[in-house]
Structure 1
Amino acid sequence: MSDTLAATRPLAPAIEPAVPPRPERLVSLDVFRGATVAAMLLVNNPGTWSAVYDPLEHAAWHGWTPTDLIFPFFLFIVGVSMAFSLLPRLEAGDAPGRLFARAAKRSAILVLLGLLLTAFPYYNLDLAHLRLPGVLQRIGLAFLLASAVVLFTRHRAQIGITAALLLGYWAAMMLVSVPGYGAGDLGKDGNLAAYVDRAVLGTDHLWKSAKTWDPEGLLSTLPAVATVLLGVFAGRWMRSPRSPADRLVGLFLAGTAAVTLGWMWNEVFPINKALWTSSYVLLTAGLALHALAVCYWMVDVRGWRRWAGPFVWFGMNAIAAFFLSGIVARLLGMIKPGGVALKQRIFDTAFDSWLPAHDASLAFALCFVALFTGLMGLMYRRQLFIKV
C-alpha cells in the first residue's frame, strides 16, 4: 500500500516523521512454533493413556524425555517473538507503560482462556474445586512478568534478573525448610514449590491427578519467566545486523553452552519439568537454540519452505490450535453414544481392532493432529488468524 501511495502523491516534506521499518519476520520462527504446537497435540491426545511409547510421555519425576521439551520450547519461542514485537515498538518511542498495559491485557486473556478450558463444559462447576494453574495460565503469567522486565529494564539488568531467577530459585528450593520435610527435599510433596501451592492455592485448586502439587504452580513459574527471557536474548541476537552465518554460529555456541551448564547443574539440582528446575531451564533453552538454528538455516537461509507449510499453519494460529484441540478432546470423551465415549468407540473400531496397542494409540494421535492440520490449513487459506 505504501508503494502505491508513494507513486500517486508528491514527495513528502522533509519534516514528515520517519516511519520505522517493519521488523524482519522469521518464517523459521513460525515453523518452529508450529512444530512445537503440533507436537503438543500429538502427546496430549493418544488413543489410550495405557499404551503410550516412552518418548511420548513425560519423565516420571527427575530426568526428561522429548515430550518434556515441548512446553519450554513454546515459552522460549514466546520470548523470541517478544524481541520482534515489543522491542521495535520500544525503540520507535512507544511508552513502556502503554506497551505493558497491552501485555497485561494479553496475559489476562490467556489466563481466562486457560480457566475456561479447565472448566469446559461444566461452567456451573463449584469454583471451590476449580484447578487454577494450567498451561495457558503459565504462558500468560510468564509473558506478563517477562514483558515487565523487557520494558522497564536495560539489557544488562535483564541478564542479571535472568541469572537471579535461576540462582534464587535453586537456593530457595534447596535451602528453605518446608514444614514436615525440611530443606532440600525435591520429592513430589516435600519440595518448596508444592508447599507454596498448597499454602496459597489450597489442594482443591491443584492438578487433580496429583492433589498435593501442580506442574504449573506458582513458585515454579518464576524459572519459567527465565525461559522466556532466554528466548528474548535469542531474539535480540536474530534481530542484530549480523550475517546469517554469524547468527547460526552464535545460536549453536550459545545452545551448546546452555546444554553443558544444564547437565552440570543437574548433578546438584536435577533436571525436572514438574519443578521447572534451573538445570531444566538451561538444558531446554540450549536445545531450543539448536532447534531454532536448524529451522533458520533450512527455512530462511536455504529457502526450503515447501515442506514447512503445515507447521506455518499451526504457528500462525498457535493458541487457537491448542485451545480448540482441548475442547475437541474433551467433547470426544463426553459424547457417549450407546453409553461408550465417542473417543473410545473411534479408537476401538478404527485403530485398536487391527493394530498393536501402542501403534494404535499413536495412530489415533497422528490422525488427531492430521485433523487439526486440515483445520489450521483452512484458517490459513482464509487468512483467519486468532490473535491474543
Structure 2
Amino acid sequence: MLGNAGTKLDILILGDAHLYHDHGGPIAFDPEGLLSTITGIVNVIAGYLAGVYIQRKGKNFECIAKLLMMGALLIGLALFWGQFFPIAKKLWTSSFVLLTIGLDLVILGILIYAIELKNIKWGTNFFLIFGRNSLAIYLLSELLLVIFQLVQVQHGLSFYNWINKVFYQVIFPGAFGTLVFAVSFMLLCWFVGYLMDKRKIYIKI
C-alpha cells in the first residue's frame, strides 16, 4: 500500500500533511491521489464514448453485440495485464480500468437487450430513483457518513460503529452483518431520493 508509485508521487508533490490518512495512520495513503485520478478520468471518458455510441448506433442487436464483444475483449485484456500489473481498486490501476470498463460495457449490453428490446421493466424504477437525483443522493451519503462518525454514543465509539456493533453484528455476525449494514445505509439514502422524486424535486448541475 505504501510502496506504490502513486503514494510516492503524492507525498513528493503534495506532502504527507495534505493527504488522506486512513484510520489515522502515521503515513498517508490517498485512494484518490494524482495518478489514480488520471486513470479514473479514463473511466469517465469511456462512459461518455459508450453513451455517444449507443445514441448514434441506436438500441439494436448490432449495438448490443458490439458492446458485448468490446466488453469481453477488455475483460480478457484486464485479466492478462493483471498478471503483471495488479487489479487494484484503491490504486485505480490501468488493469482495474480495463476490467471495470469491460464489465460496464457487458452490463450495458445486457440491460439494453432486456429493457429496450425485451421490454422488461420490472424493478427498473428502483434504480431510476438513484439516476434522477444522483448528485443529491451521493452528497447525502457522504454527509450522513460524516455525521454518523462524528456523533459519539459511547466513549471513543461513534454512532456509525456503535449501531453496527450492537445491532447488525448481533443479528448477523461477521462480514455478512457489515454487508447488511451497508445495504441498510444505501436504502436510507434511496428512501430520501424516493421522497424527493415523489415531490418532483431534482437537483442537477
What's the TM-score, normalizing by structure 1? Answer: 0.48
CA distance in 2, matches of 1:270, 1:344: 31
Tell me which residue corresponds to 1:325.
141
CA distance in 2, matches of 1:243, 1:343: 43
Partner secondary structure for residue 251 of structure 1: helix
User: Equivalent residue for 1:357?
Assistant: 174
- In structure 1, the partner of 2:188 is 371
Separation of aligned partners in 2, 1:212 and 1:364? 28
Give the corresponding residue for 2:71.
Answer: 255
Q: Output the amino acid matched with 1:281.
A: V
1:112-127 equivalences in 2 (<5 Å) = none
* Map of 1:268 onto structure 2: 84
Which residue does 1:200 correspond to in 2?
Answer: 13
Kindly report which structure 2 residues correspond to 1:145-294, keeping only aligned pairs within 5 A, or say none: 188-209=1-22, 211-242=27-58, 244-294=60-110
Q: What is the total number of aligned residue pairs between the two structures?
A: 201
1:314 CA drift (Å) = 0.8
Provide the alpha-carbon RMSD of the alignment: 2.1
Structure 1: which 5+ residue stretches go unaligned?
1-187
Q: Distance in 2 between matches of 1:250 and 1:328?
A: 40
Q: Is the 8 A contact 2:59 2:112 kept in 1?
A: no
When Rg is computed on C-alpha atoms for both structures, the one with the higher figure is 1
218-227 vs 374-383, greater mean Cα deviation: 218-227
- C-alpha displacement of 1:220: 2.4
Equivalent in the alignment of 2:197 = 380
Contact 2:57 2:63 in 1 (8 A): no
User: Deviation of residue 306 (structure 1)?
Assistant: 3.0
TM-score for both structures, normalised by structure 2? 0.86
The letter of the residue matching 2:120 is: W
Superimposed CA distance per residue, residues 284-311 of structure 1 (whole angstroms, 9 cap, x where no aligned partner): 1101101111222222222222311111
**Alpha-carbon distance change, 266 to 361 in structure 1, aligned in 2, over 3 angstroms:** closer
